[in-house]
Structure 1
Amino acid sequence: MTSFDRRTVLQGLGTAVMLPWLECLNKSSSAFAMSSNTTNPLRTAFMFIPNGVHAPDWIPQKDVHGSDGLTPLLEPIAPQRHRISVLSGLDHHNAKALGDGPGDHARSSSCFLTAAHPRKTSGEDIEAGISVDQVMAKALSGRTRFDSLELGCEGSMGTGGCDSGYACVYSGNISWSSPDRPSPKESNPRALYDRLFAAAQTPEAKRAQTERFMTRRSVLDFVREDAKYFESKLGAGDRHRLDEYFEGLRGVERQISYLDQAELATSGVPFERPSVHPENYRDHLRLMLDLMTVAFQTDQTRIATMMWANEGTNRPFPFLGVKEGHHHLSHHKGDASMIEGIRTINRFQSEEFARFIGRMAKIPEGEGSLLDHSMILFGSAIRDGNRHDHDDLPILMAGGEAAGLKHGHNQYIEGKTPLANLFVSMMQTMGAEVDAFGDSTGTISLSRS
């Protein structure tokens, strides 16, 4: 079979399209070594949901749900149950007040991946800790185009008070490259797309890129001839993977073209148009998750974080029939109608997570799928939004079976175990030489017989 360099791309008129992982690309240079001993690279994604959950209907109880049962708010993950584990009993001690008074939302997001207690300040003297994703990114530095991607559906926030004396930056970021430096996230899908697939540098390339946007032609149209030439040298399996990848990329482009059409439709409005985002939150979330998937598939990065919304967000969900704000509903104080609103939001989150897992599981890679070669952690550092507690957190794990992870069960972890223990295990699985992190006290087995 013909051998190609791992960074092989299809180029045409200033556009570079990164390829998915193909068998003919396995003969990689040492600069792009795997993060484990598997044939294909291992990735990790951390997904954050704000405002906690309605714990009575989300967190499983051992004497009620056993090893396999799902709570009402986790029922939407049933189609992907064999690919997902529910972890109970994990805590974030450093998200608690510890003498600093109110501010649980800011502490939740800033502690989520750092396992550190943030300094209470609304000024520029912020301090939390380096986050687990950035430890992984440093361990794998240079092996992919981007060491990590930080994504979200709401923009990062800066200094200034947002939560009881805590700077807004704490509520708007979960990734920290150093204790005093958050890693700003990208929430604009078109900007992310350009960053991944249309990074034209030369004047000629920029002119070609302008022509592409002006004529509304697909990026793939510009590389059709190169693709045909490349496909002629591939085996049947690689041609199938390339076809599926190109079809997925066309779908992403079609979604972005809808945003362009919205821009044209509102071009006559006598005020500056805001940053381009899908009007519907579901569409925005799905597009960002799809772009992250393609970034993994093309091996442009192996580490990603995704904030489904900023901590403390008061976003309504009108497409779900929920007109009141998320944060407001989380403080329901037992009101039945408000509880139903927060339950609707939590079920939606479970549905979208299951959709994402299902899509990754359908992408072939090696002898398994892209999901098999990706560890996905989903959850919050607040257990119940009505209580602002940080014990027995809502945490799901999926994927990573190529690295030995096993799923399909509820795992009850005894004795107020730090979530940081799980982070240590994940970092070690990714090849980082780490024995401790944050308030960790050990490790957690990621496999189950």
Structure 2
Amino acid sequence: MNPTSTSLTRRRFLRASGLSLALPMLPSLAGSARAAAETEAAAEATRLCYVYVPNGVNMKHWRPEGEGADFTFNRSTKSLEPFRDSMRFITGLEHREAYIHNDGAGDHARAHASFLTAARPHKTSGADIHVGVSADQLVAQQIGSQTRLPSLELSCDGVRTSGECDSGYSCAYQYNLAWADEQTPVAPESNPRLVFERLFGEGSHGERAANFARRQTKQESVIDFLRDEAEFLNRSLGSDDRRKVDEYLTGIREIETRIEKTERFGMPVDPDYATPAGIPDSYREHIRLMMDVMALALASNTTRVSTLMLAHDGSNRSFKEIEIGDGHHDLSHHKKDEERLEKIAKIDTFYCEQLAYLLATMKSHQFGNQTTLLDNTLLVYGSGLCDGDRHNHDDLPIIFAGGGAKGIKNGTHQRLAASTPMANLHLELINRMGVAKDEFGDSTSQFPLA
């Protein structure tokens, strides 16, 4: 046999369909049994993904009819029917920390801030923000060292970490799902091109590895120069100035650590996928580009934790793709007006169609162990409000999908006792991601997900 025929690179087998990143790293192709073992382990790894939609839904057309396995999809969720066996509707979840209590108006900010933290945000528009670490970041902080990126935060909306938004609450609460700790939001990226280049490098397919290597070499040269200069300067400084230089050197060492981590994982995967041009005019296209990039990142094991915010809670976006010129937030205060409720149902349908696109994309990523990305992902889709007019934080519209390779049997409408903390679901997923926790937020027990 020609020796070159068994030392082919994976790139020869890439396909534009997105299956490129899911091709198993066979020893005969990679020339390395270790690479094959790492790829197999990556295929079996569990991923965690959250997708947020704003302003609640029109439950009349969203909630499925029937319970258990004997349920039928409603009008707004009809596009999800092909994925019946891979998903479940969950009824009865609540975020009690999002209610008014003594804080007055601001339900949109509280809905958003508590969605992944199960904690009550401190009402402020200043720098003294305080809420809680989010479920995704709790997981990322424990398992993030196993992948190139600990987590990936995405948005199809603006990016804000300060200023006043909803009724005296900081914009940080309303524009960020992920929180590294009680005071530190993890800002998402909304430009699909910048996300893609961060993940896979600059340039076209076939050019990215060389571009990445050049950038890495340049970074290392700059870091070496800055460290040497700072250490030389440090010898002749007073104690206060030395402290400042030490802080500067600590920052340099953190950058070095990131570079070393990049070197440990080698060159990024080079998917046969065109680099996005930027943020498209079409909202639908923007959402789907971000979903593509998220699926690529998860399938390639670049990260195992990701969040996607389709819009911030309180968003007043209009939907020209479905001929709705009214703002979503304005419509959500429907006061039981049938025309407004009908438009909300159409918006709900639009968002569910995007979820169907994501599920189809994840299902198309086939791993060598005959499972798919969806089978190996724990995905939650939902909103921190039920009805935008009532601003209620119980009976939340929540869908869980995936986990088929992890022993989870879906294809059901799971009705819980009223006011079950959503923190229970977070706690279950945290533990399924390999992070042992007895409680999270206002949880009362782990969620019955089987």
Query: Normalising to structure 2: TM-score of the pair?
Result: 0.77
* Cα distance, 1:69 vs structure 2: 1.8
Identity over aligned pairs, percent: 37
From 379, 383, 390, the counterpart of 1:380: 383
From 358, 363, 384, the counterpart of 2:360: 358
Higher helix share: 2
Contact conserved, 2:144 with 2:303, CA < 8 A, in 1?
no
Question: What is the aligned partner in structure 1 of residue 251 from structure 2?
Answer: none
From 408, 419, 433, the counterpart of 2:422: 419
Question: What is the aligned partner in structure 2 of residue 96 from structure 1?
Answer: 99
Question: What is the aligned partner in structure 1 of residue 220 from structure 2?
Answer: none
Q: 1:232-258: per-residue Cα shift (whole Å, max 9, x none)?
A: xxxxxxxxxxxxx98xx44443xx2xx
Question: What is the aligned partner in structure 2 of residue 349 from structure 1?
Answer: 351
Q: Which amino acid aligns with 2:289?
A: L
Contact conserved, 2:205 with 2:274, CA < 8 A, in 1?
no
Change in Cα spacing, 1:27 to 1:397, as seen in structure 2 (3 Å) is: farther
Q: 1:314-334: per-residue Cα shift (whole Å, max 9, x none)?
A: 111011101111111111112
Question: What is the aligned partner in structure 2 of residue 116 from structure 1?
Answer: 119
Question: What is the aligned partner in structure 1 of residue 136 from structure 2?
Answer: 133
Question: What is the aligned partner in structure 2 of residue 49 from structure 1?
Answer: 53
Q: Which amino acid aligns with 1:48?
A: Y
Question: What is the aligned partner in structure 1 of residue 431 from structure 2?
Answer: 428
From 295, 320, 333, the counterpart of 1:331: 333
Question: What is the aligned partner in structure 1 of residue 394 from structure 2?
Answer: 391
Question: What is the aligned partner in structure 1 of residue 176 from structure 2?
Answer: 173
Q: 1:404-429: per-residue Cα shift (whole Å, max 9, x none)?
A: 11111100111421000011110111
* Cα distance, 1:20 vs structure 2: 4.0
Q: 1:158-206: per-residue Cα shift (whole Å, max 9, x none)?
A: 22211111111111011000000000000001100110111xxxxxxxx
Contact conserved, 2:24 with 2:39, CA < 8 A, in 1?
no
Question: What is the aligned partner in structure 2 of residue 286 from structure 1?
Answer: 288
Distance in 2 of aligned mates of 1:139 and 1:394? 29
Distance in 2 of aligned mates of 1:139 and 1:417? 27
Distance in 2 of aligned mates of 1:28 and 1:416? 47
Distance in 1 of aligned mates of 2:21 and 2:81? 32
Q: Which amino acid aligns with 2:303?
A: T
Q: Which amino acid aligns with 1:58?
A: W
SS at match of 2:394: coil
* Cα distance, 1:61 vs structure 2: 5.7
Residue segments in structure 1 that go unaligned for 5+ positions in a row: 3-7, 11-17, 199-208, 213-217, 225-244, 260-275
Q: 1:52-99: per-residue Cα shift (whole Å, max 9, x none)?
A: 111222234657x97422222222211111111000011110111121
* Cα distance, 1:113 vs structure 2: 0.1
Contact conserved, 1:160 with 1:168, CA < 8 A, in 2?
yes
Aligned length: 372
Question: What is the aligned partner in structure 1 of residue 205 from structure 2?
Answer: 219
Question: What is the aligned partner in structure 2 of residue 277 from structure 1?
Answer: 279
Q: Map residues 210-249 of structure 1 onto 2, 5 A cutoff.
A: 212=203, 218-220=204-206, 249=271
Residue segments in structure 2 that go unaligned for 5+ positions in a row: 4-8, 12-19, 28-32, 211-268
Question: What is the aligned partner in structure 1 of residue 316 from structure 2?
Answer: 314
Query: Normalising to structure 1: TM-score of the pair?
Result: 0.77
Question: What is the aligned partner in structure 1 of residue 222 from structure 2?
Answer: none
Distance in 2 of aligned mates of 1:122 and 1:32? 46
